Amino acid sequence: MIASMRETIDTSSDRANGAIGRTDATPAAPAGSDAIEIAGRTFGSRLLLGTGGFPSLQTLADAIAASGAELVTVALRRIDPDARGSLIDVLADAGVELLPNTAGCHTARDAVTTARLAREALQTDWIKLEVIGDEDTLLPDAPELLRAAEELVDDGFVVLPYTSDDPVLARRLADLGCAAVMPLGSPIGSGMGIRNPYNIALIREAVELPVVLDAGIGTASDAALAMELGCDAVLAASAISRAQEPVAMARAMRAAVQAGRLAYGAGRIPRRRYATASTSDEGLADLT
Amino acid sequence: MIRLNGDERDDVAAGETLVAVLARLRLPLDARGVAIAVDGEVVPRASWPSFQLRDEARVEVLTAMQGG
């Protein structure tokens, strides 16, 4: 795959434009099926939903239904005995699987402890591992992330790490035994889309694991692009929850993920600097 | 003084168990979706009735919230 991609870029007349993503002709995506398998579990939707930022539990419930998501993230926070309505009840009613995260953790130690608390609270050994290294960008702290991933994998967790768009780091996480890698497109909540699509395509080639584009999605076209680059799934949170109409955006993201997946399987045409007529000149009338 | 979810509490005393802590939060012992850490370490649910708090213990009672 890497060799064929390099060859295409190096030998094609449009190398200045740089083909990204799949450039070979063989569809890699199974036709018809939109299911994804992570750590031996099959999910019918390739859209994962983050539950943060929804204005109400009802909007969250409606957005889950509209998105078709079957795996949704939750955070672990101090309990509020006076809170009205239970998130857990809403998610149980929606029939979704929970993916607790370690959001807000800045050290491997905190993240590992949070994962263990999540396992206690929610009876799941799945964890979306986040170890933040910078308050302004919320970019991952790579050494701490690797340390936490290793400890959690050893402890029997199914680890889905939120990572940077660095293919080498993604491979290191895969080598440690993570169940997927979740590279960012751009900083969390920034809505900046995929700032380095080349790296996302490289990550797709670097690991055999499911690749879930995690952060930075701003609108539906970003999600479609992620899938066209070969990502196996997209996790959207703020892009849906903070949209003016979250439920409508959930529907849009669902369609975008499906469209991008189909396009990836269909194999896009190469980019060219000059036109290529779609209509043959053969039989063209002489009208001079 | 015990620190419970960041607040110093005079209604939880050293020597009491985590069951007492849950009671102060008006939570049943079998509260769903709850986990407890004391001084940064997870206390498994099975140990809640027997886990006695030391003075100055930092207790965190957590649950699933919207996020990520």
ipTM of the complex: 0.94
Task: Compare all CA atoms of chain A with the CA of B44 and give the residue at the minimum distance.
Answer: A120
Q: What is the mean pLDDT of residues A77-95?
A: 90
Residues in chain A: 288
User: Domains of chain A: which residue ranges?
Assistant: 33-79+92-266
Q: Is B26 on the interface with A (CB under 8 A)?
A: yes
Distance, in Å, from the CA atom of A280 to the CA atom of A278, rounded to the nearest integer, reads 6
Q: Taking residues A150-168, what's their average pLDDT?
A: 98
Is the CB of B46 inside 8 Å of chain A's CB atoms?
Answer: no
Q: How confident is the model at residue A22 (pLDDT cuts 50, 70, 90)?
A: low
Owner of token pair 């802590």 = B21
| Residue B27: pLDDT band with limits 50, 70, 90 | confident
Residue B28's pLDDT band, with cuts at 50, 70 and 90, is confident
Interchain CB contact of A51 with B (< 8 Å): yes
What does the pLDDT look like over A99-136, one tens digit per residue? 999 999 999 999 999 999 999 999 999 999 999 999 99
Short-list B66, B17, B37, B51, CA closest to A116: B37
Q: Is the Cα dihedral A158, A161, A166, A169 positive or negative?
A: negative
Q: Tokens for B48, please give them.
A: 């809640």
- C-alpha–C-alpha distance, residues B68 and A269, integer Å: 35
Average pLDDT over residues B29-50: 92
Mind telling me how many Å the CA of A22 is from chain B's nearest CA? 30
pLDDT of residue A1: 44
CA B38 to chain centre: 7
Through-space distance between the first and last CA atoms of chain B, rounded to whole angstroms: 34
Q: Identify whether the C-beta of residue A102 lies closer than 8 Å to the C-beta of residue A121.
A: no
Digit-coded pLDDT (tens) for B5-26: 999 988 888 899 999 899 989 8
What is the C-alpha to C-alpha distance for residues B41 and A100, in angstroms, rounded to an integer?
18
Pick left, alpha or beta for residue A225 (phi over 0 → left; psi -120 to 50 → alpha; otherwise beta). Answer: alpha
Share of chain A above pLDDT 70, in %: 89
What is the C-alpha R_g of chain A?
21
How far is A152 from A168, CA to CA, in rounded Å?
20
| Residues A145, A170 contacting (CB under 8 angstroms) | no
Query: Which of B33, B45, B65 lies nearest to residue A75, judging by beta carbons?
Result: B65
* Neighboring chain B residues of A113 at a CB cutoff of 8 Å: 37, 40-42
Q: Which of A48, A84, A117 to mutate to test the interface with B (most CBs of B within 10 A)?
A: A117
User: Nearest CA to B66 among A220, A82, A241, A188?
Assistant: A241
Binned at pLDDT 50, 70 and 90, residue A31 comes out as very low
Confidence at residue A10, expressed as pLDDT on a 0 to 100 scale = 40
CB contact under 8 A, A76 and B42: no
Question: Distance from B12 to chain A by nearest Cα, in Å?
Answer: 16
Dihedral sign, CA of A26, A30, A31, A34?
A: negative
Q: Which residues of A are catalytic?
A: 128
> Phi first, then psi: what are they for A136, rounded to 5°?
-75, -40
Structural domains of chain B ordered from first start: 2-63 (3.10.20.30)
Distances (CA, A) of A265 to A5, A84, A202: 16, 45, 17
Confidence of residue A8 (pLDDT cuts 50, 70, 90): very low
Residues from chain A that touch B25, judged by Cβ atoms under 8 A, are 79, 81
What's residue A20's pLDDT?
Answer: 61
Q: What is A33-79+92-266's CATH number?
A: 3.20.20.70
The whole-model pTM stands at 0.88
Residue pLDDT, tens place only, A212-232: 999 999 999 999 999 999 999
Helix spans in B5-62 (H): 18-24
What is the helix (H) or strand (E) element at residue A62, kind and residue range? Answer: helix A57-67
Instruction: Answer whether residue A171 shows pLDDT above 60.
Output: yes
Of B25, B44, B68, the CB nearest to A75: B68
